[in-house]
Structure 1
Amino acid sequence: MEMATGGTRVTIRGKGVYDYRRQVGRLKVRLPQDPAGTAGHRPITELLAPGALYMKNRGAGVPADKWVRVDTATLSDGNLVTGGATDPFAAAELLRGTRKATYVGRTSVAGTPVRHYRGTADLGEAAERASDGNRGPLRAAAKGFATADVPFDAYLDEQGRIRKLRNRFSFVNGQQEGTVAVASTMLLYDFGAPVDVRLPEAGDIYAGKIAE
């Protein structure tokens, strides 16, 4: 995920697994180094679930063995940006709001032949057609972003599976005038691999205040 505002560009990278049947996943997201060039941040472990985001090592004041839970429908971006990674299922459901799309041509992604499509999706329309778990978050994003239009590049393999998806979001900077441009790129591979994601028990979730 790349964020750009003014003359500053920030890149966040993550990697993990996702179970499309259960719509749950686990990611390790690595934050960029600070302005001084220090790369001292530990990776944030994230668990994705319908309507919820769980994070470990989220911030100061949270015990090391506790998770922070966020209701994604309460986030102004529907968790398309907040976690530093876009939920793979939510990203795919964004395409349900496609208003226009153009076939660019054949290419390859990581050695896999794919068809490349470029278009624009509407977050509001995507929300109306989304599954129950993503309807609320996508509605929040439609209201929270600077525009509900989301340009995308989608790369589909011969079986119609998404192998690469790049979405470009724009939201208003709450501290400064202007907007923040965010490009979220997702690569999908190793389909069929076993995925074991277990969500935290209630006692493992931190209920206190999180330091910024």
Structure 2
Amino acid sequence: MTRSRQHRRTHGTTAVAGVVCCLGLGLGAAGCAGGDAVAQGPPAGDPVQVLRTAADALVEAGTSQARTSLEMATGGTRVTIRGEGVYDYRRRLGRLKVRLPQDPAGAADRRPITELLAPGALYMKNRGAGVPADKWVRVDTATLSDGNLVTGGATDPFAATEVLRGTRSAEFVGRTEVAGARVRHYRGTADLDAASQAASEGNRGPLGAAAEGFATARVPFDVYLDDDGRIRKIRHRFSFVNGERQEPVAVASTTLLYDFGAPADVRLPADEDIYAGRIALE
């Protein structure tokens, strides 16, 4: 890595931490995992090629429900952010309710943030920070140093799967179950630079920004495919540097996909419903 690129990543990831803290998330961790059954023999096909095209099966499926879990940890501070909603893979539109962790001071549970996911954009309602309750905040995800893989407290489900288009190495681990579905477990590493070049048009800019913003463009992952080749669960491990303290921040993002074909009527807000004021990110 060149010195100039390393500088861009360190500077960019400071903004990631700033946006996450602005949402009241802090830094923290949690997630879902399951034990593997004994392998029953590897499936046909090179794992790298299988995973590079796995997102296509979701487009064929059309829609699904989704659950997300974002884990962040640095030093002794940990926090867990969870989301739940629907996604339309053909229109590249999703809606999530992101629930923030309880206030450390023991205050009442915070209102969930409603997020709308669209090609190149993230819309948030109940954003706080002086934004009127009836207004949405719009963020251009190509300007975020993490490409919206971390900022919103949840990873865009389709962006999460398109990271696999940059798969560099992968192996078949075994067969197991996820949420009652028989699946094939793969483990490997993806490259965000390569993923951004192979991704759909709406995710090229955000994934390219993430390649520059994280401490490394290489992303370890575990992914579980059902018998129809659809991704049922994917877990990434990202890393960035806290610009203020120069401490490494470990991020684990887990996305669970289920109920394929579920209704996913996602409508973006009208221009007059979008907040036009300034919002501090740090």
Query: What range describes the TM-score normalised by the shorter chain of this pair?
Result: over 0.9
Structure 1 alignment gaps of length 5 or more: none
Q: Equivalent residue of 2:209, what SS?
A: helix
Q: How far does residue 176 in structure 1 lie from its aligned partner after superposition?
A: 1.4
User: What is the CA deviation profile of residues 92-151 of structure 1, one whole-angstrom value per residue up to 9, with x for unaligned ones?
Assistant: 110000000010000000110000000000000000101110000000000000010100
Amino acid at match of 1:42: R
Partner of 1:127: 196
Q: How far does residue 174 in structure 1 lie from its aligned partner after superposition?
A: 2.1
Of Structure 1 and Structure 2, the greater strand share is in: 1
Partner of 1:173: 242
Q: How far does residue 57 in structure 1 lie from its aligned partner after superposition?
A: 0.7
> For 1:109 and 1:188, how far apart are their aligned partners in 2?
10
- Taking structure 1 as the reference length, the TM-score comes to 0.98
Task: Specify which of 105, 116, 123 is matched with residue 54 of structure 1.
Answer: 123
Count, aligned residues: 212
> For 1:169 and 1:39, how far apart are their aligned partners in 2?
31
Amino acid at match of 2:99: R
Amino acid at match of 1:77: D
Q: How far does residue 41 in structure 1 lie from its aligned partner after superposition?
A: 1.3
Amino acid at match of 2:216: T
Q: Equivalent residue of 1:18, what SS?
A: strand
Structure 2 alignment gaps of length 5 or more: 1-69
Alpha carbons 1:59, 1:211 under 8 Å: kept: no
Task: Specify which of 193, 203, 207 is matched with residue 262 of structure 2.
Answer: 193
Partner of 1:99: 168
Q: How far does residue 211 in structure 1 lie from its aligned partner after superposition?
A: 5.5
1:158 aligns with 2:227: yes
- Taking structure 2 as the reference length, the TM-score comes to 0.74
Partner of 1:202: 271
Relative distance call for 1:178 and 1:154 in structure 2 (3 A) is: same
Higher mean Cα deviation, 170-179 or 75-84?
170-179
Task: Specify which of 4, 7, 18 is matched with residue 87 of structure 2.
Answer: 18
1:114 aligns with 2:183: yes
Higher mean Cα deviation, 26-35 or 148-157?
26-35
Amino acid at match of 2:201: D
1:183 aligns with 2:272: no
1:29 aligns with 2:64: no
> For 1:46 and 1:180, how far apart are their aligned partners in 2?
24
Amino acid at match of 2:167: T
> For 1:39 and 1:138, how far apart are their aligned partners in 2?
36
Q: In angstroms, what is the RMSD of aligned CA positions?
A: 1.0
> For 1:19 and 1:118, how far apart are their aligned partners in 2?
26
Q: Percent identity?
A: 81
Partner of 2:134: 65
Q: Equivalent residue of 1:134, what SS?
A: helix
Q: Equivalent residue of 1:188, what SS?
A: strand
Q: How far does residue 40 in structure 1 lie from its aligned partner after superposition?
A: 3.1
Q: Equivalent residue of 1:117, what SS?
A: strand
Q: Which has the higher contact order (CA 8 A, sep 6+)?
A: 2
> For 1:2 and 1:202, how far apart are their aligned partners in 2?
33
User: What is the CA deviation profile of residues 147-184 of structure 1, one whole-angstrom value per residue up to 9, with x for unaligned ones?
Assistant: 10100000000000000000010011122122110000
Amino acid at match of 2:160: A
Q: Equivalent residue of 1:154, what SS?
A: strand
Structure of greater Rg: 2
Alpha carbons 1:59, 1:210 under 8 Å: kept: no
> For 2:244 and 2:79, how far apart are their aligned partners in 1?
17
